[in-house]
């Protein structure tokens, strides 16, 4: 995995939107390192979806993030659907 990569961001986003997207991608990274509590990940994903509401844009960003980092966000969002808030998500 490439340790030096940039997050896929849109230059038209506000600072708050960029923060929400970066925090989501950091949550994905953390899940690979140590797992992440489902309730916490759900909050980050909800905030991400406020910025990126369409599935097509989400897929584009997820693909770009995976290509740059090696981390797969979709695996975690899929796990989220079948988890309770206290569960630990790991790819």
Backbone angles phi, psi at 36, to 5 degrees: -140, 140
Residue 64 has pLDDT above 90, yes or no: yes
User: What's residue 3's pLDDT?
Assistant: 61
Q: pTM for the whole thing?
A: 0.93
Average pLDDT over residues 21-31: 97
**Mean of the pLDDT values across residues 55-60?**
98
pLDDT at position 4 over 70: yes
Please report where in the chains the tokens 């030096």 appear, as a residue: 4
**What's the rounded mean pLDDT across residues 52-62?**
98
Judge whether residue 14 has pLDDT over 70.
yes
Q: How far apart are CA 22 and CA 15, in angstroms?
A: 10
How far CA 53 is from CA of 8, 58, 85, 89, in Å, comes to 16, 7, 22, 23
52 in Cβ contact with 7 (< 8 Å): no
Q: Which domains does the chain have, with CATH numbers?
A: 15-89 (1.10.220.80)
């Amino acid at each position: 995995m490439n340790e030096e990569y940039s997050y896929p961001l849109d230059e038209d986003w506000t600072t708050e939107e960029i923060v929400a997207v970066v925090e989501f991608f950091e949550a994905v990274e953390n899940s690979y390192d140590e797992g992440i509590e489902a309730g916490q990940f759900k909050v980050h994903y909800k905030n991400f979806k406020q910025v990126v509401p369409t599935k097509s844009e989400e897929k584009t960003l997820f693909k770009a993030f995976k290509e740059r980092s090696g981390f797969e966000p979709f695996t975690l969002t899929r796990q989220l659907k079948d988890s309770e808030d206290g569960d630990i998500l790991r790819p």
